[in-house]
């Protein structure tokens, strides 16, 4: 069962029909963003106190009305950072989804632009990361320590956001489930679902499809736990974010093997957009781990 809007969930739980036209996917994205922001704020505060990252420098209005430079603790700017990255991420997720479905876009461009379903997580990450780096440069915050701080937060936000895909039934489910391969101990709903009343308006035949968003959320939570446990690492700044890239790339590449997605063909190779980006993530992360797996200068160790 899927619940595109909050009113659908309330009706299913209580039998009351209330005018609550809030998209469940959007609500989960908002919850994920809030949780990620809280996680980032806590880690930036720790790094700032330990000397692992210095103050931000931004322009503020002075007493005479002119802009003057001022310093601020980086964790106090998380809300501004989150808003900019979230807006850029939504735009990027839509752009990448359109690029993946150009034939549909040519037929109905406006419906795809303003659709409530069909968003590319990787597009959101790439656009959001680009906007975030520009903002860090403007505030003169060192990028690599900040990226280490945000790595666990990204995984946590991703895990929660994927639950929005599951609840709303936005089309990010898997291929038809092979019931013969289901372990006897595993509940049926965790192996196959029909996503009745999904927001994508798709009728799924029995026995159903793999609930891929659930699997992604579980894997992302496990990756978050690992990144959080290793956040006090003694390697060069950027090492933890490199590990994030490896984990994110591996997780998405694995889930793509059971997901329904548009496939591209190039010189005999068949792949999805997400698989290609996953490989890029894995390569960049592996290079980063190789280059940054050295002890950091004493100033970065901080007080634990």
Highest mean pLDDT among 126-135, 221-230, 273-282: 221-230
Look at residue 96 in the predicted model and tell me its pLDDT: 75
Which residue did the predictor score with more confidence, 115 or 139? Answer: 139
pLDDT digits (tens, 9 = 90+) for 20-30: 888 898 899 88
How much of the chain, in percent, has pLDDT values that exceed 70?
88
Is the model's pLDDT at 85 over the cut of 80? yes
Question: Measuring CA to CA, which residue among 154, 124, 139, 134 is closest to residue 37?
Answer: 154
Question: Measuring CA to CA, which residue among 99, 148, 82 is closest to residue 273?
Answer: 99
Look at residue 114 in the predicted model and tell me its pLDDT: 59
Which residue did the predictor score with more confidence, 137 or 297? Answer: 137
Give the confidence band of 59 by pLDDT, cuts at 50, 70, 90. Answer: low
Is the model's pLDDT at 155 over the cut of 90? yes
CA 149/CA 120 separation, integer angstroms? 24
Please, are residues 207 and 192 in contact by the beta-carbon 8 Å criterion? yes
Look at residue 303 in the predicted model and tell me its pLDDT: 38
Please, are residues 214 and 258 in contact by the beta-carbon 8 Å criterion? no
Instruction: Report CA-CA distances (Å) from 229 to 133, 223, 224, 232, 247.
Output: 25, 10, 8, 8, 14
Is the model's pLDDT at 258 over the cut of 70? yes
Over range 183-204, report the average pLDDT.
91
Is the model's pLDDT at 100 over the cut of 70? no
CA 262/CA 280 separation, integer angstroms? 18
Question: Measuring CA to CA, which residue among 237, 236, 217 is closest to residue 225?
Answer: 217
Which residues, including other chains, have CB under 8 Å from residue 189's CB and lie 6 or more apart? 211
Is the model's pLDDT at 127 over the cut of 90? no
Place of tokens 């690599």: 144
- Please give the mean pLDDT across all residues of the chain: 86
Please, are residues 197 and 24 in contact by the beta-carbon 8 Å criterion? no
Instruction: Report CA-CA distances (Å) from 177 to 3, 188, 214.
Output: 21, 10, 14
Over range 263-279, report the average pLDDT.
82
CA 198/CA 15 separation, integer angstroms? 19
Is the model's pLDDT at 221 over the cut of 90? yes
Give the confidence band of 266 by pLDDT, cuts at 50, 70, 90. Answer: confident
Structure tokens at 117: 């379903």
HSE value, Cβ hemisphere, 13 Å, CA-based, for 131 = 19
Is the model's pLDDT at 301 over the cut of 50? no
Over range 137-164, report the average pLDDT.
91
Please, are residues 82 and 33 in contact by the beta-carbon 8 Å criterion? yes
Please, are residues 35 and 230 in contact by the beta-carbon 8 Å criterion? no
Spell out the domain ranges in the chain.
6-300
CA 292/CA 294 separation, integer angstroms? 5
């Amino acid at each position: 069962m899927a619940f595109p809007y909050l009113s659908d969930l309330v009706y299913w739980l209580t039998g009351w029909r209330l005018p609550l036209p809030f998209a469940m996917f959007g609500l989960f994205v908002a919850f994920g963003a809030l949780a990620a922001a809280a996680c980032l704020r806590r880690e930036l505060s720790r790094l700032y106190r330990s000397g692992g990252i210095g103050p931000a420098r931004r322009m503020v209005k002075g007493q005479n009305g002119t802009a003057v430079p001022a310093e601020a603790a980086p964790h106090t700017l998380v809300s501004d950072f989150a808003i900019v990255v979230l807006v850029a991420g939504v735009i990027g997720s839509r752009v990448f989804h359109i690029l993946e479905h150009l034939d549909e876009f040519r037929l109905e461009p406006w419906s795809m632009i303003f659709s409530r379903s069909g968003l590319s997580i990787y597009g959101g990450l790439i656009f959001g990361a680009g906007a975030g780096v520009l903002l860090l440069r403007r505030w003169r915050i060192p990028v690599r320590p900040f990226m280490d701080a945000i790595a666990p937060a990204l995984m946590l936000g991703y895990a929660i956001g994927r639950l929005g895909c599951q609840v709303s039934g936005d089309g990010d489910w898997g291929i038809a489930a092979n019931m013969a391969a289901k372990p006897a101990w595993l509940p049926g709903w965790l192996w196959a679902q029909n996503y009745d009343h999904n927001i994508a308006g798709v009728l799924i035949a029995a026995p159903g499809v793999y609930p891929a968003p659930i699997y992604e959320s579980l894997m992302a939570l496990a990756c978050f736990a690992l990144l959080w446990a290793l956040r006090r690492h003694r390697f060069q700044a950027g090492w933890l974010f490199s590990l994030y890239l490896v984990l994110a790339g591996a997780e998405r590449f694995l889930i793509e093997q059971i997901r329904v997605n548009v496939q591209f063909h190039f010189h005999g190779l068949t792949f999805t957009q997400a698989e290609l980006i996953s490989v890029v993530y894995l390569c960049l992360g592996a290079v980063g781990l190789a280059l940054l797996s050295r002890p950091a200068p004493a100033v970065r160790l901080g007080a634990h």
